[in-house]
Structure 1
């Protein structure tokens, strides 16, 4: 433990207790604590009750100057805001200096990177190795049911109802949602459950187990995806490779549904978005689709007049 941590040991412990009680995932707890520790380190042992908005803004500015994305800067702001909110609720502080600071504007109109159906087939075909049935099921849940990495990680065996072909998913905002399992996906999920690796603890409920016998971690899923995407893009020149990641499978699911005419509200429910505004990012249209739409127009124009001659 470094000096800054020992100075704020009570506050950090209180923050962790608050996050656990609020139901934050282990992954979020770890991320928020890392952000908060970085912030506290720059305070030079200043008591938290003396921290002003200026100190928070100064830290966030230094973060941006390091070249991190707007999304990362906003997450760090959320972590610090959460810390002060927790300490106020636990009656250790009375003021939140992180409140009221504006978020960085992220690029709202940026089109998500996704795979079309042909690419998805090729990606799924690139899954191989000893744990193929497990990894295939993981990526089918993401690409054909829209699950987030963290949601796959938290799945338990009891969350799947094989009789009703329904999966109970614990999502963002600590909300549950039921997602129907497509008829073609169900056999792969059931095979993965049947071939599930033996867990290290006999009472382990996790649906997906790592080779070490523990719940398959978020980092583990991301690593398997990175390796598979590497094989998927094998032969593609480095300059033309796309920045694929496991989360792009969820993008692909949303894009496919909307292109097949699914209602935006239904897609919102399936993805577990609290706001429909988040879902609208998937309504991107390609140049080819624009050209095809324009080509369908039946245009009847009046005859052009011949240019007048002098």
Structure 2
């Protein structure tokens, strides 16, 4: 177990152990392996949570890089992370456990999906590879319920009228949330698009199906879905508690408003420190957009890049990627860091950092269109949702009697 060995791809669950140089060739699901590891402790309380958290981060790294559990991948992960001595000490216990149990392989947890109700749903799901595993479950569940609704009402075809009736049934009778109902409507509309593209039908059928796209979604109360922005002092405290790498990540997201995927796509060539600008590959975009690189984020990024250059023995290439961590790793580290400074981590998500940028820009007197430009929203309505909470506070504090 001393070389970086690619993980073996097998689909079977609970494979029997095979004698292969003393290594258990069973491929454990991530949650299954963590459960076994935690179960090996005589006592597992709050003081032991770091053992679990750091083991999960290591496993996320292995899954992302498709590596096995070994001394080499462990050293590679520690070097990549720039981990502290205490972090290494916590994580080494997990490596020792895996060695003792002769466990070398791990795989992603399986996502349980609902069985499709008919052949059309099966064909649609199978031929649309852009639907990820999590969305697949929502699509199948929504489409199953729609076809069950059609059958219960003796409707023989898909049309705008019964899609709208199904929407109202979910809203009034089943009392599902507008968010869930709109997801189900999206699934039906995507199915209709697939049918129009792949099946021959008469003009009447084409016209009837084409009208489904006009069925309106339910309005959602956006105020219910506020993301709590980090107060300025909490963001500062979070950054000060971290090493240069993580401080740069939170600073770029919190001060410049980047999404997680945008942070992951950043390269050294995207920074213009002289002009204090940053080129960002936005959500669903093919070209990069320029945003302001605020001073605090600029300083944090420069410190991190300088540290990386020192470790690599020279200047970094323009295509050097600042963040290679997966979303789960970033999420877990963010939550742990908040807990470590005594903050209530349940109030915040990684996306809260983006809201922090929008609300702080508004508080400092920036026009709404500047906030929209920085966050790269196509519609000012979206920006208003981001800053509504701060607008409410400013309104109460500043409206004249």
TM-score of the superposition, structure 2-length normalised? 0.53
Point out the structure with the larger helix share: 2
1:118 equivalent among 211, 233, 238:
233
Q: Provide structure 2 residue ranges, at least 5 long, that are not aligned to the other structure.
A: 1-112, 151-155, 313-318
Separation of aligned partners in 1, 2:190 and 2:137: 13
2:336 equivalent among 227, 231, 239:
227
1:143 is displaced (CA, Å) by 0.8
Q: How many residue pairs are counted as aligned between the two chains?
A: 263
Question: Does 2:198 align with 1:85?
Answer: no
Task: Check conservation: 1:60, 1:77, Cα contact below 8 A.
Answer: no
Equivalent residue number for residue 221 of structure 2? 107
1:143 equivalent among 250, 254, 258:
254
Equivalent residue number for residue 259 of structure 1? 363
Change (3 A) 1:165 1:31: farther
Q: Which moved more, 1:255-264 or 1:181-190?
A: 181-190
* 2:213 match: secondary structure: coil
Change (3 A) 1:180 1:106: same
- CA RMSD in angstroms, aligned pairs only: 4.1
Q: Which moved more, 1:69-78 or 1:171-180?
A: 69-78
1:262 is displaced (CA, Å) by 0.8
TM-score of the superposition, structure 1-length normalised? 0.66
Change (3 A) 1:52 1:292: closer
* 1:185 match: secondary structure: helix
Higher relative contact order (CA 8 A, sep 6+): 1
Change (3 A) 1:81 1:123: farther
Change (3 A) 1:146 1:290: same
Change (3 A) 1:233 1:74: farther
Equivalent residue number for residue 269 of structure 1? 373
Q: Provide structure 1 residue ranges, at least 5 long, that are not aligned to the other structure.
A: 20-27, 199-203, 210-215, 298-310
Change (3 A) 1:3 1:224: same
Q: Give 1:148-163 correspondences, 5 Å limit.
A: 148-162=259-273
